[in-house]
Amino acid sequence: MKTRITELLGIEHPVVQGAMARIADGGLAGAVSAAGGLGIIACGGASLEWIREEVARARALTDKPMILLVNGESASASELFASGVRDTGRGVIVGSRTYGKGVAQSALDESSDPDYFDGDCLKVTTARFYAAGGTTTDRIGVIPTLLVDEGYAEAVAAAKALGIATGSNGKFNPGAPLTRQDAMVLIQRTMSATGRPLTAGDTSILNSFKDRNRVSDYAANAVAALVRSGLIKGDDGKLNPTASISRAEMAVLLHRVLTM
């Protein structure tokens, strides 16, 4: 079954596997991916050894890339895994900077050294973790490929997977203002991804606006499609494509989309 979702995700069937802990392992994720769906490995609370084994199992069944979500509570083994995925180019890391647990301790007590301890204990840092690229995660954490606020990480990952938000020059720039033409591009891609594509508009329709020459080439088709559909009407004969869009203007645009 071919849909816009399958085209965007590069899968054959619009099937997304659930990510239930202890069930969604590498074998299941790899099998779902190999069968044409979207496989997911649930790694929450798992050890580094288990994660490595399950990723290897999945890799033996599929060569699809992965998207990994992290936040400030991702620590220790999960940071080693995330940095490995990032540094080896195996996938994209999305979220906020991780916790920064990059060392390991050894506890010396009566059970390990009875000749030196009698009920007391000495904890000593004995190891430091290093990522595949040679950097340490200690105190620094892992800086994601796409750095976003924790509250938006899942939404950004979904938007990237669906091809709605793709970034520019290897950056997502989540804190930058959103221009009117970028908002139109996002709306057009979202409509296509959800099975409600807008009729492509001939860009000549933009010639009736005074600032047509300010519309960027990458946005021209999207702007034309929204103008043709009546979602964008302009203001005083202008589109103001490079101006920032306000929350109120975005709300109006979304209302028009939902009620068209």
Position 64 pLDDT exceeds 80: no
Position 259 pLDDT exceeds 60: yes
- For residues 4-26, average pLDDT: 58
- For residues 119-143, average pLDDT: 85
Residue of higher predicted confidence among 193 and 48: 193
Residue 137 belongs to a domain: no
Q: What is the pLDDT of residues 201-244, one digit of tens each?
A: 689 999 999 999 999 999 999 999 999 999 998 889 999 999 99
Residue of higher predicted confidence among 107 and 44: 107
Residue 115 belongs to a domain: no
- For residues 161-180, average pLDDT: 80
Q: Which of 43, 64, 85 is the last residue before a domain boundary?
A: 64
Residue 32 belongs to a domain: yes
Residue 84 belongs to a domain: no
pLDDT of residue 28: 79
What's the 3-state SS for the chain?
Answer: CCCHHHHHHCCCCCCECCCCCCCCCHHHHHHHHHCCCECCCCCCCCCHHHHHHHHHHHHHHCCCCEEEEECCCCCCHHHHHHHHHHHCCCEEEEECCCCCCCEEEEEEECCCCCCCCCCCEEEEEEEECECCCCCECCCCCCCCCEECCHHHHHHHHHHHHCCCCCCECCECCCCCCCEHHHHHHHHHHHHHHCCCCCCCCCHHHHHHCCCHHHCCHHHHHHHHHHHHHCCCCCECCECCCCCECCHHHHHHHHHHHHHC
pLDDT of residue 34: 74
What is the domain count for the chain? 2
- Write down how long the chain is: 260
Q: Which of 64, 80, 97 is the last residue before a domain boundary?
A: 64
Position 43 pLDDT exceeds 80: no
Q: Residue 124 — pLDDT band, cuts 50, 70, 90?
A: very high
Strands 121-128 and 103-109: antiparallel
Report CA-CA distances (Å) from 220 to 33, 92, 202, 203, 240.
35, 29, 9, 6, 13
215: domain range?
A: 180-259
- Specify the range with the lowest mean pLDDT, choosing from 38-52, 55-69, 160-174: 38-52
Residue 21 belongs to a domain: yes
Taking the whole predicted model, whether its pTM rises above 0.95 is answered as: no
Residue of higher predicted confidence among 127 and 258: 127
pLDDT of residue 20: 55
Report the chain's C-alpha Rg in angstroms: 24
Residue 221 belongs to a domain: yes
Residue 33 belongs to a domain: yes
Q: Residue 62 — pLDDT band, cuts 50, 70, 90?
A: confident
Q: Residue 138 — pLDDT band, cuts 50, 70, 90?
A: confident
Residue 159 belongs to a domain: no
Q: What is the pLDDT of residues 74-119, one digit of tens each?
A: 888 888 888 888 888 777 787 788 888 888 888 999 888 888 888 8
What mean pLDDT value characterizes the chain? Answer: 81
Q: Which of 10, 40, 64 is the last residue before a domain boundary?
A: 64
